[in-house]
Amino acid sequence: MAEMAILQEIDKCMKCRGCQVACQRVQGLTLPVGKAEKVEADDPMVVKCQSANDAPPYVRYSCWHCSNPPCVPACPLGAMKVDAATGGVYVDKTKCVPASCKQQCATNCRKGGYPKIGTNTPGTFAYKCNLCYDQPGGPACVSTCPAKALTYDTLANIRAKVAADFSGIGDVWIGEGHMFWARKSPGGGVVATFTPPTTDPYIEDHISPMFDKVLRSPAAAGLAAPVLLLGGLFALYQRKIKLAESDET
């Protein structure tokens, strides 16, 4: 089987998050009652808006399935692997024991799709988008998209589709491997490496939900909001230091 890839046509996405829910179900994760639309900090795949007023464009974020994934050699347990048939990076759950390692798979990634180890995990292992390499019908996110914004095909066919449909009339981003994003934009061009148009995923996945939760609660009337702001800024500062230190080593 040829290496596979996913293309998201950003202009078509309605942010219904049906793809996100489908992903959660295939992964065996517990869907929070009444919160299917909520972006959880440990979701393996999410759709995020690119503006403050929740307006398009909407971008699908998950593992990029890099051609040379940094998470694979970083795992001391040999739990991070590449499927030879699809090129998808997946977690061997029989070998993954987060408590016995420093979770270098997540540290070495930094692209927002790294293996998640959180409260939604149905066991003591990490999990992530794996291109549904073990699903006969292919990625659940693609087959459930009502807007047909996602295309799953061979890597060669995806590249050909991008060249045919967006050459000279659109912007194209390539996620260092098997993930592609494109949108119609007169005068646009191909960008070799995709850089998410949002900020550090750590901010949106951790700091922002923390702000939102507290600011919507009665406790926000007191000192909770200022204290939370300082705590969030301190967490962000520590995050930047950690990333800088890892770059130096």
Task: Check pLDDT > 70 for residue 210.
Answer: no
Q: What is the structure's pLDDT at 31? A: 62
Task: Check pLDDT > 60 for residue 203.
Answer: no
Q: How confident is the model at residue 1 (pLDDT cuts 50, 70, 90)?
A: low
Q: How confident is the model at residue 81 (pLDDT cuts 50, 70, 90)?
A: very high
Q: Of the ranges 9-13, 121-125, 187-191, 216-220, which one carries the lowest mean pLDDT score?
A: 187-191
pLDDT tens-digit series, residues 102-132: 888 888 886 767 787 766 666 677 888 999 9
Domain locations in the chain as residue ranges: 1-196, 201-248
Q: pTM for the whole thing?
A: 0.72
Q: How much is the average pLDDT of 20-27?
A: 86
CA distances from residue 116 to 42, 71, 98, 103, 198 in whole angstroms, order as listed: 5, 12, 10, 10, 19
Q: Of the ranges 81-95, 185-199, 230-244, which one carries the lowest mean pLDDT score?
A: 185-199
pLDDT tens-digit series, residues 175-190: 778 888 888 765 555 4
The most confident of 78-82, 185-189, 235-239, by mean pLDDT:
78-82
